[in-house]
Structure 1
Amino acid sequence: MSDLAGVRARNATFWARAAPGWIRHADRQDEYGRPLGAVALDRLRPRPGERILDVGCGCGGTSAELAGAVGPAGTVVGLDLDASMVEAAAARFPGDRHPGLRFTAADIETAEAVQGAPFDAAYSRMALMLAADPVAACSAIRRALRPGGRLAATVFRDGAATPWMHAVLLGAAPHLGPLPPMPVGDEPGPFAFADPGRVTRVLTGAGFDAVGVEPYDVVLRAPGDPGAVAEWLIEIGPAGAAYREAAPERRAAARAGVIKLLARFREPPEPTGPPEPTGPAAGYRLPAGIWLVTAVAPAGTA
């Protein structure tokens, strides 16, 4: 990317506009989105008393889960690019109820140091592929770890492994006017780390040892009203800002478009007749293909 400063500025602008949707749906994202990071949490094996950095913490749900694992003797620092999401995280998980948990707003790519370093481990759920310069971001994470400190993160694989994401955009876009251009190639975006070879090159280029990239297939289960699910997925995606700025009738049309394209992910299928009063509640089963990324900071790392 030739204009790195420009890409970083666009990233910051995008997330500032996207943040209201993430804040509004923070509880839903914590619950339904947990499978996207569960394998990394399991592999990280946070222990009581450890110090852990959560990169791309969003509205703080992952940080709070990590804080529960390290206990009151441990420390978790949740870091995110967007200040409004960090403020929301601090409000959702205040220090008087979550000792040892702190949040900070910073760009991990350009931060000279991370408050609270050195850490025993670093965790990231679906954030590393969003960096304008992922080598710089991962280098900063490595520098924030103690020698031998471990990293466990998740990122999306290719778009074909997460088909509902395209369905949401295709269903909403015709009703919302111009949207930000979709990232291509190595540009920061959900599928920027689709190539496992690139993931390995980024981590080794950042100075990590013992880099591992493993495929996992997970499922997000979203129960409830189709309109609520459609709105959640629109608002946390690239169409979120345009959706919130649209007139009510356009928002309703966008939800209807998404509901139509998500029908194949609904289980059990919509009934053709009156619903059975004792039948199972319908919900969505959203498959996602992810990479589990693991690495270790080498001995002697400052």
Structure 2
Amino acid sequence: MTATFDPIVFKQTTRAQWEEAAEAWHRWGPTIEDWLGDATGAMLQAAGIGKDDRVLDVAAGAGGQTLAAARLAGPGGKVLATDISPAILRYAARAATDAGIETVDTLEADGENLSELPEGGYDAAISRVGLIYFPDQQAALAGIRRALRPGGKFSAVVYSTPERNGFFAIPVGIIRRRAELPPPLPGQPGPFSLGAPGVAEQAFAAAGFREITVTAVPSPVRLSSAADCVRFERDSFGALHQMLSRLDDNAKAAAWQEITEQLTQFEDPDGFSGPCEMLVVTGTN
């Protein structure tokens, strides 16, 4: 019998995985910022963040984009970083302190339930590679829109299609086959849940956003080797660990070995360049 998707269990598992992966996500921070730097810049620009703005960062993780938003908003602004994982938020708070930024606050919160935030309390909202993993994306979008002032913008970075994201899609495909996992159904959370043409626009429109734009940003993952990319994904990508959870240790090792072998196709004399394309999706309240 095919197992049914349980959003409550999914979120519990997601929280546990990010509690475990928080240190690694922080440790790989320079690689992440190099990889997502262009998409992050496009997101912040699309959100229209300016001096003295109040910014909401949903599924903020270790806070690389949070600090970038805080710098744009300046000392008169304020950024609230929310995430389901308190462990990863501690790294975001520490990063702000280490950077001498005093305008960042953190809040442990489910991105699908932002009801404790003030209605219309934010000038802009952002989410970097977070919205795709919400089981109820409409609930998340509705909560974000409620928190925005009229005319405020929400901008999110999401993956495009598997075909344009070989560095991630190949591991996902290998693990899915080895773990005998069915393909995700439409509407289920996952890395490529908003990547197909028109899907993100439709989701934003259904939540009441207007003036919706989608911009593709090439975001290759550059490392010294395929093995380094596998170390990065193995350390930091909670979604892959969720998919691997039903395999024993030997089967997991075999999956990672196959992934490494397949990703070597993206090596050249200059190192590893894993194909990746992000979409910056933006809507106005």
The bucket for the TM-score relative to the shorter chain is: 0.7 to 0.9
Structure 2 counterpart of 1:295: 283
8 A contact 1:54–1:124 mirrored in 2: yes
Letter of the 1:266 counterpart: E
- Matches of 1:181 and 1:11, distance apart in 2: 19
- Matches of 1:66 and 1:45, distance apart in 2: 10
Q: Mapping of 1:202-221 within 5 angstroms?
A: 202-214=203-215, 216-221=216-221
Structure 2 counterpart of 1:151: 154
Which structure would you say has the larger Rg?
A: 1
8 A contact 2:55–2:79 mirrored in 1: yes
Q: Tell me, what secondary structure is at the counterpart of 2:194?
A: coil
Shift in Å, 1:192? 1.1
Structure 1 counterpart of 2:14: 14
- Matches of 1:229 and 1:163, distance apart in 2: 12
- Matches of 2:240 and 2:199, distance apart in 1: 27
Q: Mapping of 1:230-249 within 5 angstroms?
A: 230-235=230-235, 236-240=237-241, 242=244
Structure 1 counterpart of 2:261: 260
Task: Evaluate the alpha carbon distance shift between residue 166 and residue 96 of structure 1 in structure 2; reply closer, same or farther with a 3 A threshold.
Answer: closer
Encode CA deviations 1:58-103: one digit per residue, 9 max, x unaligned: 1111101111121111111111122221122223323882111111
Shift in Å, 1:118? 0.7
Once the two structures are overlaid, the 10-residue window that deviates more, 32-41 or 61-70, is 32-41
- Matches of 1:118 and 1:179, distance apart in 2: 45
Q: Mapping of 1:61-72 within 5 angstroms?
A: 61-72=64-75
- Matches of 2:60 and 2:230, distance apart in 1: 23
Structure 2 counterpart of 1:97: 100
8 A contact 1:200–1:213 mirrored in 2: yes
Letter of the 2:262 counterpart: L
Structure 2 counterpart of 1:229: 229
8 A contact 2:225–2:267 mirrored in 1: no
Encode CA deviations 1:172-214: one digit per residue, 9 max, x unaligned: 678xx85876533210111111334332232222222212233
Structure 1 counterpart of 2:202: 201
Encode CA deviations 1:202-232: one digit per residue, 9 max, x unaligned: 2222222212233x14132422354332111
Structure 2 counterpart of 1:55: 58
The percentage of aligned residue pairs carrying the same residue is: 23
Letter of the 1:12 counterpart: Q
Q: Tell me, what secondary structure is at the counterpart of 1:186?
A: coil
TM-score w.r.t. length of structure 1: 0.79
Q: Aligned-pair RMSD on alpha carbons?
A: 3.0
Q: Tell me, what secondary structure is at the counterpart of 1:93?
A: helix
Once the two structures are overlaid, the 10-residue window that deviates more, 126-135 or 180-189, is 180-189
Aligned residue pairs, count: 276
5+ residue gaps, structure 2: none
Q: Tell me, what secondary structure is at the counterpart of 1:262?
A: helix
Structure 2 counterpart of 1:300: none
Once the two structures are overlaid, the 10-residue window that deviates more, 251-260 or 103-112, is 251-260
- Matches of 2:261 and 2:130, distance apart in 1: 29
Structure 1 counterpart of 2:128: 125
Task: Evaluate the alpha carbon distance shift between residue 226 and residue 200 of structure 1 in structure 2; reply closer, same or farther with a 3 A threshold.
Answer: closer
TM-score w.r.t. length of structure 2: 0.83
Once the two structures are overlaid, the 10-residue window that deviates more, 88-97 or 45-54, is 88-97
8 A contact 2:119–2:148 mirrored in 1: no
Structure 2 counterpart of 1:278: none
Letter of the 1:203 counterpart: F
5+ residue gaps, structure 1: 269-281, 298-302
